[in-house]
Amino acid sequence: MEMQEQLRKIQEEALAQLAQIDDKAGLDALKLRLMGKKGELTLLRRSMGQIPAEDRPKAGQMINEVVAALTAQMDALDERLKAREQEKKLAREAIDVTEPRKHTPIGMQHPISLVQDQMLGVFTSMGFDVVEGPEVEYDLYNFELMNIPKNHPARDAQDTFYIEDNVVLRTHTSPVQARTMLTRKPPIRIVCPGRVYRADEVDATHSPVFHQMEGLVVGEDVTMADLKGTLDAFAQKLFGQDVTTRFRPSFFPFTEPSAEVDLTCVNCHGKGCRVCKGTGWIEVLGAGMVNPKVLEMCGIDSRKYSGFAFGVGLERIAMLRYGITDMRALFEGDVRFLSQFRDD
């Protein structure tokens, strides 16, 4: 039977070709050649009219079988080609998550901000509120209500930047004490961080602008022991358990009695070294019991209430904490220097 022979040939050739085909275009071409409008199998099916009627069902069945077999093979190849294409695509789009990233510099906290945050953490955990005041301040708050008399040397233009006769750049954070006492009733427990200004020449330990943190506690039965306990806790939390405070008599117009407060030298732990000039102690802050005159001027009954106050220089604390020997490094903004410090 001629048609049978033809069919066998077509199938054989198709299978041989199928084994060679490597891409979609090749597969499409083969499909078209076999089953397109003028495809070999299409034409063969069309030519069925020419064979005797009794042979037709058999012939039709044979064609169908070959079409089904080839279609199955071509579909399988199509699947394989698609899978290969997908693999290639995934390989092309693969991301190497282990590849090191480009260096992206990120900002660091300034050492002054670091110690300020550490100190605020210590004091807020002891129940202190954080209060801020203006840097451009009235003479009234900076001096008058702090019991600093008109003829006091601190008021001299050599020490104080004047904006107007009655307006200065605050020389300390103490005016925030007055602002708070005038607006809040005891019990008061606040710390006040901020910038302060003095007409100083720049050197390794001085700058015309620097930072302080003021502390103020006012209540019934507040004593010097409370001041000592508070400052001891602060010193230990910031510098370690073996650090303690020593009070030396001093004078501030707004406190009575007043003290200069030393810490155990954080460098030699009290043995005596270059940092503490052999004494084992380093001076870090001023403190005292709020002068009753200040309480009264700020509207607080000094027979009922007492208080303590302290003022700490943040540059001093940062220098001690991080072993910085020249204060200018804190103001120059050299990123190579500043990026060395982090909270720990």
What does the binding site for ligand PHE look like in residue numbers (CB under 6 A)?
A: 172, 174, 214, 252, 255, 286-288, 309-311
Choose between 13 and 260: whose C-beta lies nearer to ligand PHE: 260
The DSSP code for 50 is G
Q: How far is the CB of 248 from ligand PHE (least distance, A)?
A: 13
| The token pair that represents 290 in the structure block | 């709020």
Question: Smallest distance from the beta carbon of 110 to ligand PHE, in angstroms?
Answer: 21
Give the integer Cα–Cα distance in Å for 279 and 265: 8
Q: Which is nearer to ligand PHE, 174 or 264 (CB)?
A: 174
Q: How many CB atoms lie within 10 A of CB 269?
A: 14
> Based on CB atoms, which residue is closest to ligand PHE, 28 or 159?
159
Output the smallest distance, CB 183 to ligand PHE, in A. Answer: 19
Whole-angstrom distance, CA of residue 258 vs CA of residue 290: 9
How far is residue 2 from each of residues 8, 50, 51, 59, 152, measured CA to CA in Å?
10, 12, 10, 11, 129
Least distance between ligand PHE and beta carbon 290 (Å):
8
Report whether 139 contacts 276 (CB < 8 A): no
Give me the least distance between CB of 288 and ligand PHE, in Å please: 5
Closer CB to ligand PHE, 59 or 146, in the complex: 146
Nearest Cα residue to 172 out of 215, 212, 134, 131: 212
Shortest separation between residue 155's beta carbon and ligand PHE, angstroms:
13
Nearer to ligand PHE, 29 or 224 (CB): 224
Question: At closest approach, how far in Å is the CB of 294 from ligand PHE?
Answer: 10
111-125 helix and 224-239 helix, angle to the nearest 10 degrees: 130
Give the number of other Cβ atoms within 10 Å of residue 285's Cβ.
22
Buried b (16+ CB within 10 A) or exposed e, 205-236: eebeebbbbbbbbbeeebeeebbbebbeebbb
Residue 217 pairs in a beta bridge with: 189, 308
Nearer to ligand PHE, 118 or 291 (CB): 291
| Residue nearer to ligand PHE on the CB measure, 171 or 264 | 171
| Closest residue to bound ligand PHE by CB | 311
**Least Å distance between CB 268 and ligand PHE?**
26
Q: Residues with Cβ < 8 Å from 298, sequence gap 6 or more?
A: 145, 177, 178, 181, 182
Minimum separation from the CB atom of position 158 to ligand PHE (A): 16
C-beta of residue 173 within 8 angstroms of C-beta of residue 130 = no
Q: Would you say 139 or 214 has its CB closer to ligand PHE? A: 214
Query: Is 316 strand, coil or helix?
Result: helix
Q: Which of 137, 326, 323 is nearest to 214 (CA)?
A: 137
